[in-house]
């Protein structure tokens, strides 16, 4: 069999795919967050709209976007598949099983699959709210207007906040896990990875969470 295929089919190979796609998605998260910070420019969305237009118009970005969608699907489907397969590696379950004594909440299998599923659901709703109207329907509202309208609804904003907390948990496990799978965790690198992990799982979701909070606050004081 071809070595690459064989590699993918091995247990470690599948994990590498999970880790590489995961890391790519983290890079996207960072990029997306930086872009979204333009929402705070307090210029009625001018800079943000320009940025959106640039993304839509740039062929390279469009090309990467295909990968982005593919990776999200891959990461999600493979993740569910692995979870499903692993469940059947134990015929009879334990009557008593205290995984919680040994494993922090974020790293428990159940947490990962639940947070992952919720994030997938979030993605669908997020795309329906912001991607679909502009890119598919080609509606007349600008992205900025969509944002303002959406987050004036506290329920919608609350859903986002919940999703970001779960995203944080998902990242808390996922980030270090990716490096472990790539074989980069060792005595030297682990402290660095752990420090970086904190930035990733704490500050990225925090940054995202600031957006709905900001716009909800704005809508309440009647700014726009």
Partner 1 sequence: MNFTLHIWRQSSADSEGHFETYEARNIPGEASFLEMLDILNDSLVTDGKEPVAFDHDCREGICGSCGMMINGRAHGPGRKQATCDARMRMFEDGQSITVEPWRAKPFPVIKDLMVDRRAFDRIIQAGGFISARTNAIPEANAIPVSKPAADEAMDAAACIGCGACVAACPNSSAMLFVAAKVSHLALLPQGQIERGDRVQRMVAQMDKEGFGNCSNNYACEAECPKEISVTHIARMNREFLRAKIYER
Contact status: 14 vs partner 1 (CB under 8 A):
yes
Residue among 57, 66, 89, 221 that touches partner 1 (CB under 8 A) = 89
Residue pair 72/29 in contact by the 8 Å Cβ criterion = no
Whole-number Å distance between alpha carbons of 67 and 61: 10
Quick one: 112 or 167, whose CB is closer to partner 1?
112
Contact status: 26 vs partner 1 (CB under 8 A):
no
In three-state secondary structure terms, 105 is helix
Contact status: 5 vs partner 1 (CB under 8 A):
no
Residue among 38, 185, 196, 219 that touches partner 1 (CB under 8 A) = 185
Residue pair 106/172 in contact by the 8 Å Cβ criterion = yes
Quick one: 2 or 138, whose CB is closer to partner 1?
2
Contact status: 140 vs partner 1 (CB under 8 A):
no
Residue pair 167/208 in contact by the 8 Å Cβ criterion = yes
In three-state secondary structure terms, 66 is helix
Shortest Å distance, C-beta 98 to partner 1: 4
Whole-number Å distance between alpha carbons of 155 and 145: 18
Work out the number of other CB atoms within 10 angstroms of the CB of residue 208: 19
Residue among 177, 208, 209, 211 that touches partner 1 (CB under 8 A) = 177
Quick one: 158 or 183, whose CB is closer to partner 1?
183
Give the tokens for residue 67. Answer: 């990968």
Contact status: 172 vs partner 1 (CB under 8 A):
no
Contact status: 58 vs partner 1 (CB under 8 A):
no
Whole-number Å distance between alpha carbons of 119 and 122: 5
Residue among 21, 52, 115, 176 that touches partner 1 (CB under 8 A) = 176
Quick one: 52 or 177, whose CB is closer to partner 1?
177
Measured CA distances, 130 to 4, 38, 146, 154, 179 (Å): 38, 16, 7, 17, 32
Residues that bind partner 1 (CB under 8 A): 3-4, 6-7, 10-16, 82, 85-86, 88-99, 101-103, 107-109, 112, 173, 176-177, 179-187, 190
């Amino acid at each position: 069999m071809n070595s690459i295929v064989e590699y993918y089919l091995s247990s470690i190979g599948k994990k590498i795919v999970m880790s590489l796609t995961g890391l790519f998605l983290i890079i996207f998260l960072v990029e997306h967050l930086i872009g979204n910070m333009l929402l705070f420019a307090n210029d009625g969305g001018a800079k943000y709209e320009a940025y959106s237009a640039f993304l839509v118009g740039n062929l390279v970005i469009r090309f990467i976007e295909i990968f982005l969608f593919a990776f999200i699907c891959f990461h999600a489907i493979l993740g569910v598949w692995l979870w499903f397969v692993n469940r059947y590696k134990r015929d009879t379950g334990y009557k008593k099983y205290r995984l919680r004594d040994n494993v922090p909440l974020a790293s428990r299998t159940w947490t990962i699959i639940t947070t992952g599923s919720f994030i997938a659901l979030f993605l669908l709703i997020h795309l329906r709210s912001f991607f679909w109207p502009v890119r598919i329907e080609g509606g007349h509202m600008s992205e900025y207007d969509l944002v303002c309208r959406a987050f004036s609804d506290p329920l919608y904003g609350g859903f986002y906040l919940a999703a970001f907390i779960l995203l944080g948990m998902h990242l808390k496990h996922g980030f270090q896990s990716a490096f472990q799978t790539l074989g980069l965790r060792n005595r030297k690198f682990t402290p660095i990875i752990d420090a970086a992990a904190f930035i990733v799982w704490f500050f990225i979701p925090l940054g995202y969470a600031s957006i709905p909070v900001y716009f909800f606050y704005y809508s309440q004081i009647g700014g726009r």
